[in-house]
Amino acid sequence: MSKHRSGRSTSRPVGKAPVAGLPVNKNDEVMLDIIGMTHEGEGVGRVEGFTLFVQGALPGEKVRAKVLKTKKQYGYAKLLNLIEASSARIAAPCEIYDQCGGCQLQHMDYAAQLTWKRQLVVDNLERIGKLRVSGGAAGGDAEAALTEGILVRPTLGMDEPWRYRNKAQVPIGVTEGGLVGGFYARGSHRIIDMETCLIQHEDNDDVVRKVKDIGRKLGITAYDEESGKGLLRHVVVKKAFRTGEMMVVLVTNGDRIPNVDEWIAEIRREIPAVTSICQNVNTKQTNVIFGDTTRTLWGNDVIYDYIGDVKFAISARSFYQVNPAQTEVLYGKTVEYAGLTGNETVIDAYCGIGTISLFLAQHAKQVYGVEIVREAIEDARANATLNGMDNVVFEVGASEDVIPNWKEQGITADVIVVDPPRKGCDPRLLETILAMKPERVVYVSCNPSTLARDLRVLEDGGYKTVEVTPVDMFPHTVHVESVAVLVRDVPVIQPPLLT
C-alpha cells in the first residue's frame, strides 16, 4: 500500500531511481491540490514546488494522479481518481469526450467556463503585457479604467452553448469496417470515428454521416498520411444558419473521383438541403486541409448567409466565423468600441472577406480594408457589391505596406481595427498604427497572449487600453476571443497655480 508524504507517494517500481533533483519520478502516484488551469485546459498541481499538469483536473480539486513524464521544471500526470471534486465539475454529455480532442472543457460547468476564460485574459494582460487590470474588473466604469487600470468585462457567453458550429472539417481514415471520419484523438492524428458532435449543427452531423455511408458503398478509398495514397482526405460541410443553404466540399488526393456522377446523385438524393457540391484537390503530404485547386461539381459556387443585416457569399475556401450567433455579438462589441457617429474614417487591417469591414461601414463615413490574401479581397469586394455598400474600399497587400501608402495619399484614420491571426500583429503594423495616430484602436483577438504582447507595444507608443471584453465564440473549448479598445493617451494639461 502506498504511503503519501508531502503530497507524493514514496513507492516506485523496483530498480527505478528518481531523476536527480526532482521530487517525483515517472510512474509515481501523487496526491495533488489543483491550484489552476493552463490555457490548454490542464489542471495545475505542485509537489514540493514541482509543477505537474493533469488533463481533466479542475481548479479547487484534490486528486490522485500518476506521473507520466518529467522534465526539468515541470511534468505531466494522469488523473486516477478524485479525492475532492470541484463544485464546477459536471458529467460531460458527449459519449466520446474522453477520447476526442475537439473539446477540452465539457466536464466544467458553463458558467465556470466563462469565469475561467475571463481570468485567462486577465492573467495574460498582467503577466505578458505587464498591464494593470482594474480591481473592480468584472464591472464598473470605463472612465475609471483610464486611471485605475484596464476594465475587463465578464465573458459574453451563449444562452444555448451547444450545436453552434456552422462548419465541420472532418478528416477521413479507414478501418477494417471501411471509411471513418471524426476528430483526432488528443495529441495524435488517430481519427476517432464520430456519428454526432454536440457542438456541430445537427445538419452537419447528418451530412458527414451520409457522405461516409455513400463513400463506403461506392468503395471510395481514404487518404493515408504515411503512404500518401488513397483518395478522400477531408469532408468539409458548411451550413448557413439564416438561409438554410448547405455546401459539401470533398477534399481529395488527386483530380479524378471514381463514380463521380453517382457520388453527386447520392448526395443530392440523401441530402436535399445541399445546394453546392465542390471538390478541392490537395496532393501535398501536409496536414493543411485545402489545396490550391477548387472546382464546383454541382450546384452553386457559393452559399449565402447573414451576420446581422449584412449578407455574405461563402465559397469553399472562404474564411467565415463558425459561430454565427456569437459573431454578431463580437462584431457588435467591435462597433461599440469603435465609437462611430457616421463621420469617421476607419481602417480594417486583416479584413479577410470583409465581415468586420461591412459591419463597420453601416456606421462609418468611409472604411478601408486591407488583407494579404488576394482571394479574400475578391470575396470582400463581391460582398460589398452584394450589400450595395459603396463607402468601403478593399486592397490586397500587407497592412504595414498598404496603410503607409494610404497615408501618403492623404487617407488618415480616426479608428483602426485589427483582427490578426493567432500570432498577433506584425511588428511593422504596430509601428504603422503608432505613426498614423488614430484616436482609437480596436483590437479583436483570438489569442490572449499575443493580445497582451501587442497591447504593451501600443501602450508604450502612447495609447491607453481602456476596456477588454472576452467573447465565448467556442463554448466547451479552451479558446476565447477578446475585443479591446485603446485611446490615445493625451496628457492632461494642468492649469497654472494661482499666485
Which residues are marked as active site? 446
Would strands 293-299 and 274-281 be described as parallel, antiparallel, or unpaired?
antiparallel
User: How would you classify residue 228: left for phi > 0, otherwise alpha for psi between -120 and 50, otherwise beta?
Assistant: left
Which H, E and C letters describe 41-60, residue by residue? CEEEEEECCEEEEEECCCCC
Other CB atoms within a 10 A radius of the CB of residue 287 amount to 10
Give the whole-angstrom CA distance, residue 467 versus residue 458. 14
Beta bridge partners of 483: 444, 469
Give the whole-angstrom CA distance, residue 113 versus residue 39. 12
Give the whole-angstrom CA distance, residue 333 versus residue 174. 44
Give the whole-angstrom CA distance, residue 61 versus residue 63. 6
DSSP string of 433-489, one letter each residue: HHHH--SEEEEEES-HHHHHHHHHHHHHTTEEEEEEEEE-SSTTSS--EEEEEEEE-
For cell 475556401, name the residue.
Answer: 317
Give the whole-angstrom CA distance, residue 295 versus residue 63. 53
List, edge to edge, every strand of the sheet that includes 178-184: 191-193, 178-184, 167-175, 232-239, 246-252, 274-281, 293-299
